[in-house]
Chains A and B, each alone.
Chain A
Amino acid sequence: MSDTALAPSSTALNGENGKVDKPRSLFSDAMRDLRRRPVFWIGLAVVLLVVLMAAFPSLFTSADPRHCVLARQHEPPSGVAYFGYDFQGCDVFARAVHGARTSLVVGFIGVAVATVLALVIGMTAGYFGGWIDSLLSRIIDIVLGVPFLLAGVVLATRLSQGGRSTNVVPVILVLGLLGWTTAARVIRSSVIAAKNQDYVTAARMLGASSARIIWRHILPNALAPTVVVLTIALGGFITTEATLSFLGVGLRDPAISWGIDISNATRYIRLAFLPLFAPASFLAITVLGFIMLGDAIRDAFDPKLR
């Protein structure tokens, strides 16, 4: 299952690896650097564990997270339910394990949507320049000028109206539509930097089309910084999904999400602590894992940013 977790980064890096000579040395250099970092290994281990949990929740728990019996309300932990039962009498641990899938699906697809937007907009702005660049840069400024959570809450409310409450599409759209700006800026500047290199001029003189120049010569250069920005963004996206669900505007009740469980548990916090603790620690550790992984990758690929 590790390929799903690393799909965006590994394909990106392989593409770079196979084609251009210079990034290959950067890539192998970065890999050597990564292998020596304990932070990278810890982050990777956490992420892989969460991916495993999302793919095969039955490996970790045999209880049905939607099977709730009111008679078991707030029962203490036992050998069957490691974290006891919540207010509705659902297995707290089972719900926390099954929540991983929602978080990861929303996080990864959200990042994919943001990547596509960032690539298209950043490439266009950087490659064509002139008034197209000015216009797109102003749009980036406007989106960046709005507080992220504020815009997310408004957008999520509006997009999720009328749809099924377990639908993850509105939340993914919110993350994708609001989260592309930083990556687009990074891509734009690396495209501008690559555009004036000799090998691009050479390709143009040989009669290569714009599409070919972008695809074969400029895109590979922009990939490394993009992968870095987006890996770090993943942790933020997972947090945002949980926060939106916590506020009641993201996913709603029949869906299983850490944000929903945290929100429900806070209401009965005077009665039981474990229903809050389980989803909260799962969420915190997952985000920590992604941030550690992202930090390590950033340090390895971009020594200047340290």
Chain B
Amino acid sequence: MSRYIARRLLQMVATFIGTTFIVYALMFAYTNDPLQALAGERPVTEAQRRVMTERYHLDEPFLVQYGYYMKGLVTGDFGQSLTGREISEMLATAWPVTAKLALLAICFVIIFGVSGGVVAGLRRGGFFDTASLGLTLIFISVPIIVIAPLAQYLFGVKWHLFPITTGANPSFHALLLPAMVLGALSLATNMRLTRTSVAENLRADYVRTARAKGLSRRRVVGIHVVRNSMIPVVTSIGVDLGTLMGGAIVTEGVFNIPGVGFNLLRGIRTEDGPVVVGFVSVLVMVYLITSLVVDLLYAVLDPRIRYE
């Protein structure tokens, strides 16, 4: 197990370095005059040029620049955005909002997706099962860029159930609709996964044994079937949490939620290199750590799984 963790950590370091290097290269290499790009249309004075060249180590080769950047990153110094804000500060204000949104979305997935999947799996072929299969197919295939504006129109503009946009410091009520939109895809996939898992376990030998022992259906389903069916679902929800933390670009954009995805998109649109590299590095890190935790959790939940 510890050998497995060590190998995964090494792989993570390689992925992290690979990703940050690619993003860094994409954002900073091959611009003819990065200082002019930075200043936009305004002219750049000699003095400004000197200060900036020194601050960004522009007179050094590209790899050395990247080395300086990584050194800053490891010590927690993300540098400044082109507008002069500390990137670590931007991250600190944006992160809680995104985390709140992602956790709320996952709550929806657990409450509606998992329980719905259990019910559908227990009554396979019934009305609820068929209806939920059709409904989840729609959620799976309709892209979020369709769901988000549509939900905003129906629930916000037409029926006035939720605020249309959230703005800074969003309240719990304002985050409800975006969270539902964000969680829709994950809800659908996890509902199907739970359904399949429950239906499969209902036919398992140990369930037949439990029934033969004369246990009540309640106990058989509640203890034996549902618990075992949750193993793949927990891991899948964990992976989704990691994705949602970083993948909320569209939802945050549509509902104007000042989270990580929103800031990142603005950084990309204004070609703010330091912001993009900083945010992407952190997001990739979060994604990598969640997937490691999920894989380890898998082994803890299911003793049959052994990592060599």
- Tell me, in angstroms, the Cα distance from A150 to B291 when the chains sit together: 16
Kindly list chain B residues whose C-beta atoms are within 8 Å of the C-beta of A276: 149-150, 153
Kindly list chain A residues whose C-beta atoms are within 8 Å of the C-beta of B287: 145-147
Is B140 interfacial (CB-CB < 8 Å)? yes
* Contact digits for A237-269, partner B, Cβ 8 Å, 1 yes 0 no: 001001100111100000000010011011001
Is A153 interfacial (CB-CB < 8 Å)? yes
* Contact digits for A262-292, partner B, Cβ 8 Å, 1 yes 0 no: 1101100110010010001101100110011
- Whether B246 lies near A147 (C-beta < 8 A) is yes
- Tell me, in angstroms, the Cα distance from A35 to B18 when the chains sit together: 46
Tell me how far the C-beta of B28 lies from the nearest C-beta in chain A, rounded to whole angstroms.
Answer: 10
**Main SS class of interface, B:** helix
Tally A residues with Cβ within 8 Å of B. Answer: 38
> Which of B19, B140, B149, B269 is the one whose CB lies under 8 Å from A262?
B149
Residue on A with the closest CB to B254?
A: A266
Within 8 A of A (CB), among B10-25: 11, 14-15, 18-19, 23
- Whether A145 lies near B288 (C-beta < 8 A) is yes
Residue on A with the closest CB to B286?
A: A147
> Which of A142, A147, A262 is the one whose CB lies under 8 Å from B146?
A262
Kindly list chain A residues whose C-beta atoms are within 8 Å of the C-beta of B265: 153, 247
- Whether B142 lies near A154 (C-beta < 8 A) is no
Kindly list chain A residues whose C-beta atoms are within 8 Å of the C-beta of B264: 150, 153
Within 8 A of A (CB), among B214-255: 243, 246-247, 249-250, 253-254
Known: A155-B26, A273-B153, A280-B149. A142 touches B144 (CB 8 A): no
- Tell me, in angstroms, the Cα distance from A292 to B250 when the chains sit together: 25
> Which of A138, A158, A242, A247 is the one whose CB lies under 8 Å from B26?
A158
Residue on B with the closest CB to A239?
A: B143
> Which of A153, A265, A273 is the one whose CB lies under 8 Å from B249?
A153
- Tell me, in angstroms, the Cα distance from A66 to B141 when the chains sit together: 29
- Whether A146 lies near B143 (C-beta < 8 A) is no
Tell me how far the C-beta of A96 lies from the nearest C-beta in chain B, rounded to whole angstroms.
Answer: 13
> Which of B142, B149, B254, B284 is the one whose CB lies under 8 Å from A287?
B142
* Contact digits for B269-280, partner A, Cβ 8 Å, 1 yes 0 no: 101000010001
Kindly list chain A residues whose C-beta atoms are within 8 Å of the C-beta of B284: 145-147, 150
Within 8 A of B (CB), among A34-69: none
- Tell me, in angstroms, the Cα distance from A281 to B149 when the chains sit together: 12
Kindly list chain B residues whose C-beta atoms are within 8 Å of the C-beta of A239: 143
Kindly list chain B residues whose C-beta atoms are within 8 Å of the C-beta of A292: 137, 141
> Which of A246, A248, A263, A288 is the one whose CB lies under 8 Å from B137?
A288
- Whether A283 lies near B15 (C-beta < 8 A) is no
Tell me how far the C-beta of A156 lies from the nearest C-beta in chain B, rounded to whole angstroms.
Answer: 9
- Whether A153 lies near B142 (C-beta < 8 A) is no
Known: A149-B247, A149-B249, A154-B26. A269 touches B19 (CB 8 A): no
Known: A147-B243, A147-B247. A288 touches B138 (CB 8 A): yes
- Whether B15 lies near A265 (C-beta < 8 A) is no
- Whether A247 lies near B143 (C-beta < 8 A) is no
- Whether A249 lies near B268 (C-beta < 8 A) is yes
- Tell me, in angstroms, the Cα distance from A236 to B278 when the chains sit together: 28
- Whether B143 lies near A242 (C-beta < 8 A) is yes
- Whether A248 lies near B269 (C-beta < 8 A) is yes
Tell me how far the C-beta of A89 lies from the nearest C-beta in chain B, rounded to whole angstroms.
Answer: 21
Number of A-B contacts (CB under 8 A): 107
Most chain A Cβ neighbours within 10 Å, of B14, B138, B153, B264 = B153
Kindly list chain A residues whose C-beta atoms are within 8 Å of the C-beta of B11: 138, 141
- Whether B243 lies near A266 (C-beta < 8 A) is no
> Which of A146, A158, A270 is the one whose CB lies under 8 Å from B19?
A146
Within 8 A of B (CB), among A150-182: 150, 153-155, 157-158
Tell me how far the C-beta of A172 lies from the nearest C-beta in chain B, rounded to whole angstroms.
Answer: 17
- Whether A150 lies near B247 (C-beta < 8 A) is yes
Tell me how far the C-beta of B63 lies from the nearest C-beta in chain A, rounded to whole angstroms.
Answer: 19
- Whether A280 lies near B283 (C-beta < 8 A) is no
- Tell me, in angstroms, the Cα distance from A288 to B146 when the chains sit together: 13
- Whether A243 lies near B144 (C-beta < 8 A) is yes
Tell me how far the C-beta of A259 lies from the nearest C-beta in chain B, rounded to whole angstroms.
Answer: 7
Kindly list chain B residues whose C-beta atoms are within 8 Å of the C-beta of A122: none
Known: A145-B288, A247-B249. A153 touches B153 (CB 8 A): no
- Whether A235 lies near B141 (C-beta < 8 A) is yes
Known: A142-B18, A269-B153. A154 touches B143 (CB 8 A): no
Kindly list chain A residues whose C-beta atoms are within 8 Å of the C-beta of B150: 276, 280
- Whether A284 lies near B15 (C-beta < 8 A) is no
Kindly list chain A residues whose C-beta atoms are within 8 Å of the C-beta of B138: 288
> Which of A141, A155, A246, A273 is the one whose CB lies under 8 Å from B145?
A246
Kindly list chain A residues whose C-beta atoms are within 8 Å of the C-beta of B141: 235, 284, 287-288, 291-292
> Which of B137, B142, B149, B288 is the one whose CB lies under 8 Å from A266?
B149
Residue on B with the closest CB to A238?
A: B143
Kindly list chain A residues whose C-beta atoms are within 8 Å of the C-beta of B140: 291
* Contact digits for B108-143, partner A, Cβ 8 Å, 1 yes 0 no: 000000000000000000000000000001101111
- Tell me, in angstroms, the Cα distance from A22 to B284 when the chains sit together: 44
| Interface residue ranges, A against B (CB under 8 Å) | 138, 141-142, 145-147, 149-150, 153-155, 157-158, 235, 239, 242-243, 246-249, 259, 262-263, 265-266, 269-270, 273, 276, 280-281, 283-284, 287-288, 291-292
Can you list 15 contacts pairing A with B, beta carbon distance less than 8 Å?
A141-B15, A145-B19, A147-B243, A157-B268, A158-B27, A243-B143, A247-B249, A259-B145, A266-B152, A273-B153, A276-B150, A276-B153, A280-B146, A283-B145, A288-B137
Given contacts A283-B143, A283-B146, 5 further A-B contacts (CB under 8 A): A147-B283, A153-B268, A155-B26, A265-B149, A276-B149
